[in-house]
Chains A and B, each alone.
Chain A
Amino acid sequence: MDAKTLEAQLLELIRRTSTRLPGDVVRAIEKGWRREAKGSIAKSALRTVLDNIELARDKSQPMCQDTGTIICYADLPAWCDEPTFMKAYERAVVKATKVGYLRQNSVDSITGKNSGDNLGPGNPAFHLHQTRQKSLTCRMMLKGGGCENVGAQYSLPRADLGAGRDLAGVRTCILDAVVQAQGKGCGPGILGVCIGGDRGSGYLASKEEFFRELDDTNEDPRLAKLEKRIVKEANSLGIGPMGFGGATTLLGCKITHRNRVPASFFVSVSYMCWAFRRDGFRLSESGKVTRWLYD
């Protein structure tokens, strides 16, 4: 595949990610809308959300004006090395910014100057791996600042919360994060959680949970049970869409774990807004998309 084809396919991936929500997310929002009381602000908020999803797709325009941090995961086969991939992806990002699929969203943290093209130190955020597969797999997500800001990391034990170093303590932390977030992260939200790891790996793993589909089941039965319980309990707190009050506070909760050193016990909670923009594809060496991963 030549560089132009790779760039064009990546631009299409970015366009789709910014303008469409995955099917599992739309279904979860529809379920929430059916559940909310007739005539409530919560129901009307979710109606607007559903209208917005349709409009963004039909107009091929960003779901949300905050097109977020561009997070890119790719498994690269022998025919595509890292520099080739990164260059093509960056060119696709610049183009996507120019035509308005992406907002100018990369700001120099020292000077405050916007780079204007979404490139800069750490932007986009690449996570690249080699693969022995024949095809190239690329998954990406756009994570807005509002939801990123309400993420939280807990170091257990936490006497003030009554949270010890066990799964009960983990549950306490997660529910605390939900109450702290209220509507500020554009709920109904989805949580990605990592138990353990260090501060960096914990947050990273918590975000990688967002690549799971909302209706899957955790392979670890203990975590599957905890995920279900968190969603049910969070939805009984009355925070609701946008924090207006209501029965739909969380659309999902995905939990993973990493080993830790004996001295540390972190619970890292990432919050994703309802505008949960993730997509991905598999690309053959001839430049054809053989599969979209989240339809």
Chain B
Amino acid sequence: MLLEAPFTEDRIRALRVGQEVEITGLVYTGRDAVHKYLHEGGKPPVDLRDSIIYHCGPVVVKEKGRWVVKAAGPTTSIREEPYQGPLMEQYGIRGVIGKGGMGPKTLEYCQKVGAVYLHAIGGAAQVLAERVVAVEGVHMMEEFGSPEAIWEFRVERFPAVVTMDAHGQSLHRDVLAASQDALRQLG
């Protein structure tokens, strides 16, 4: 199903674990350095209300004066577990695109503030880069370097799977528990 901007609370709360979505609108990249910076009280250079954050450190090069995205798949999200939930609440972030899933603290905040975790296919940097139709800006490039900067990506039909929803469900929690059971049975 299509998930189009604006990413309002209603639209986000309607999503359920297991749904495959295609995202259209503006998303902001942000990974380790950005999350640490915001957590320590740094001011966000963009308005994050009803936004989607993309855990991604893209390969972007300048060709003939404009930015061209060469590769843009998700990075591992769990590193942002200490920061993500509180930042969702403080700035009204409605969605996080990443890979590998996040933990109980983020899940709790998803429920509390009305947010979801959207799992993109890790490593699929070309398929996903094709869905970035424009680079609308870049922030904090000097401080954090290109992979860690905040890139404004205009995406169209960007594919992801809802793996944590605003109703307390997490595919990651379920698969972990089921695989631990299966391992015990193997002995």
Residues of A within 8 A of B (CB): 41, 44-45, 48-49, 51-52, 55-56, 59, 61-67, 99-100, 103-105, 107, 112-114, 116, 144-146, 149, 175-176, 179, 182-184, 186, 233, 236-240, 242-245, 273-275
Contact = CB atoms under 8 A, between A and B. Distances in A.
Contacts of B76: 145-146, 149, 184
B122 A186 contact: yes
Contacts of B183: 175-176, 179, 237
18 contacts: A41-B18, A48-B124, A48-B159, A52-B127, A104-B146, A112-B33, A113-B145, A144-B123, A182-B101, A182-B179, A183-B99, A184-B101, A237-B183, A239-B175, A242-B99, A244-B171, A244-B175, A245-B175
How extensive is the interface on chain B, given as a class? 35 or more
Tell me if A's interface is mostly helix, strand, loop or mixed: loop
A110 B42 CA distance: 21
B59 A244 contact: no
A234 B38 CA distance: 39
Contacts of A103: 57, 59, 71, 146-147
A182 B175 CA distance: 8
Tell me if B's interface is mostly helix, strand, loop or mixed: mixed
Contact of B122 (A62, A100, A242): A242
Nearest to B183: A179
5 closest A-B pairs by CB:
A114-B145, A65-B71, A184-B100, A186-B122, A275-B123
Given A146-B75, A236-B182, A236-B186, A244 B159 contact: no
B97 to A, nearest CB: 13
B6 to A, nearest CB: 27
